[in-house]
Structure 1
Amino acid sequence: MIKRFIYSQKVAPYVFVFPFVAIFLVFWVYPLLSSFGMSFQHVTLGQEAEWTGMDNYQKLMGDGVFLKSIGNSALYMVLTLVILIPFPMLLAVLINNKWMWGREFFKSAFFFPALTSVVVAGTIFRLMFGEMEGSLINSVLGVFGIEPVKFLKGHLTGFVALLALATWRWTGVNILYFLSGLKNIPEEYYEAASIDGASAFQKFMRITMPLLKPTTIYVLTISIYAGLAMFIESLMLWNGNNSPKNIGLTIVGYLYRQGIEKNNLGYAAAVGIVLLAVTMIINLTQLAFSGMFKKED
């Protein structure tokens, strides 16, 4: 009876799906619901939770540091989208070209930074962009007669360091995404375009770009999430969660500050819920505009 039940074709699909459903419920749905409930309470370790209603959310709207962290995360997200979508796409097209030599080498070289620990990478970039004359970037600037710059103490220069780290780490990953999309474009399309006298630019605009749309939307979606959820890079670049005048503070960094450093778990939960809502709104909006929710005829 038990053997017949296990090998039943009706039961088997549910058996295979059950681990995913269980993990999803335990590690995503339950924490989300718990955080949502905590966001309406004053919760600190060692004390009984106190219901406060909308107080945490009202406090957030008037919290200048929180609003600055949102601005920093939004700016970082936009700038990484501007850099880490078009340039990896162009590099992928170049590497995918049949006349390109050493393509496997370039794939490995671009992807290698993603294998590096973000802790190690952040430490290295902190030393590179240090304010001492002997730091790498200031040494290069010194060759051109430029005085040493305190990169990590200014908002603009700090973001230059952050974006340099992000570009170095994630360009190769996005290149591989676009390369996988390019592999699904039939070569016959390009051959037909060549016969019709299309230039390389016309092929890119009329064939490559439209057929890479699913890959581009995927990269855009995960990049939006990654930009808003960035934390470790900032933490390592400024060697802590307290950058000068909060120039490197992100939403997740502010959540960490409130929940872990200040033991204000209810307020931190409200920050997390706002972050989730902002991320969902942005991603669902861009998916709607890209036509992902439209039914195909």
Structure 2
Amino acid sequence: MEDVQKQSKARKTIKASKLSEKKKDMISGYLYVAPFFIVFGIIGLYPALFSIVLAFNEWNGLGDMQFVGLSNFTVVLQDPLFWKSLYNTVIIGLMGTAPQLIVGIVLAYFLNLAVIRFTNFFRVTIFMPYITSMVAVALVFGVFFSSNETALANYVIGLFGVDPVSWKTSEWGAKIAIALMVFWRWVGYNTIIYLAGLQSISKDLYEAATIDGANKLEQFIYITIPLLKPFIILTVFMSTVGALQLFAEPTVFLGSSAFSRDEAMTVVMYLYRDAFNLGSFGTASATAVLLLIIIIGAAAINTWLTSGIGSKKKRGV
């Protein structure tokens, strides 16, 4: 009887030690990830929650907050400049991001071909604009799209009989220049993502398709594009979010006059102007909430549309 009691006590101590070891492992795991969550909570989660609360209050950044309900949203939605900034954001986003996704796939396809020489050099060259300083990019494009008649952009379009354009002050001139800046800066980033996706596709599929008589175009349409679908969804999602948050390119390109004209004012620029130029943090936060809703809706729609790439609908079912 005593032996049985000793064995049961030994088993209990072993179980208790195992539980204590699991608790120690669990605690140590939480301690390892705790710094990330603490920093995220301070600089990420708290400002986001505070912005949502601020959207329902009137505050100039110094005094006490005053609850105003939905008045800030009403002011923003009734402001023609907000709708103009949303229109500019969508137009510049479409002109700057849609072409770069298509060109990125084509460039990645050619860079993945074995017959292309110096592929590493071309990959680095294409990726260079992404890591280039935004100030340097603005200086280059500022010279290229100068309003002078002798500027490089005006010289190029002059070869086709087009009159010189005042790129920084005209309605479409500013949009085109900023869209080209966005395209130039981000096309290499998407190309590298697509290139990684292409390298994950087995070459046996292309060899089998060649044996079956499929040409390069058919292989690209029926093999490459469907198998790149996860990467296409990723780039479309990221491009949609980035396009709707466009701020650095138009601000740096237009300079000090960026917030005083509406030719290329984006939603984030409108938000920034309300908060830091006009001192209306309530309407700025309301704009941020509206922008969040727009981003979620646009990203969901684009993801849903791109998820159908390469899928075939079943007929007669």
| TM-score, length-scaled by structure 2 | 0.85
Q: Flag the structure with larger Rg.
A: 2
Greater mean deviation of Cα atoms: 138-147 or 95-104: 138-147
Q: What is the one-letter code of the residue matched to 1:73?
A: T
From 282, 287, 294, give the equivalent of 1:278. 294
Question: Runs in 1 of length 4+ with deviation above 6 angstroms?
Answer: 4-7
Q: Does 1:211 align with 2:258?
A: no
Deviation of the 1:136 alpha carbon: 1.7
Report if the CA contact (8 A) 1:35-1:269 is conserved.
yes
Match of 2:47 among 31, 35, 51: 31
Alpha-carbon distance between aligned partners in 2 of 1:79 and 1:141, rounded to the nearest angstrom: 18
Contact 2:58–2:65 at 8 Å: present in 1 too?
Answer: yes
Aligned residues: 290
**Which residue of the other structure, out of 159, 165, 171, is the alignment partner of 1:149?**
165
1:252 aligns with 2:259: no
Q: Which moved more, 1:191-200 or 1:20-29?
A: 20-29
CA contact (8 A) 1:241 1:253 kept: no
Confirm or deny that 1:100 pairs with 2:116: yes
Distance 1:121 1:223 in 2: 19
Q: Is the 8 A contact 1:119 1:232 kept in 2?
A: no
The counterpart of 1:262, out of the listed 275, 278, 302, is: 278
Seq. identity, %: 28
> Are the equivalent residues in 2 in contact too, given 1:119–1:233 (CA < 8 A)?
no
Deviation at 1:11, TM superposition (A): 2.9
1:231 aligns with 2:247: yes
1:117 deviates by 1.2
Name the structure 1 match of 2:11: none
TM-score normalised to structure 1 length: 0.91
Output the CA distance in 1 between the equivalents of 2:289 and 2:157.
43
1:145 to 1:244, Cα distance in 2 relative to 1, 3 A: farther
Letter in 1 for 2:119: R
SS at match of 1:100: coil
Match of 1:168 among 184, 201, 206: 184
RMSD, matched Cα? 2.1
Correspondence for 1:21: 37
- Structure 1 contact 60–66 (Cα < 8 Å) conserved: yes
User: How far is the alpha carbon of 1:5 from its aligned partner?
Assistant: 6.7
Report the alpha carbon displacement of residue 128 of structure 1 after superposing the two structures with TM. Answer: 1.3
Distance of 1:140 and 1:85 partners within structure 2: 25
Q: Deviations over 1:177-226 (max 9, x none)?
A: 10011111011111111111111011111110010000000000110011
SS in 1 for 2:213: coil
Say whether residues 1:189 and 2:177 are aligned partners. Answer: no
| Matches of 1:82 and 1:220, distance apart in 2 | 9
Note the residue ranges of structure 1 that are not aligned, 5 or more in a row. Answer: 293-297
Is 1:287 the counterpart of 2:266? The answer is no
CA distance in 2, matches of 1:127, 1:239: 13
Give the Cα separation in 2 of the matches to 1:147 and 1:49. 53
Query: For the structure 1 residues 21 and 60, does the alpha-carbon distance in structure 2 shift closer, same or farther, using more than 3 Å as the test?
Result: same
Q: Which residues of structure 2 form unaligned runs of 5+?
A: 1-16, 309-317
Distance change (3 Å), C-alpha of 1:230 and 1:129? same
Within 1, Cα distance between the matches of 2:127 and 2:306? Answer: 28
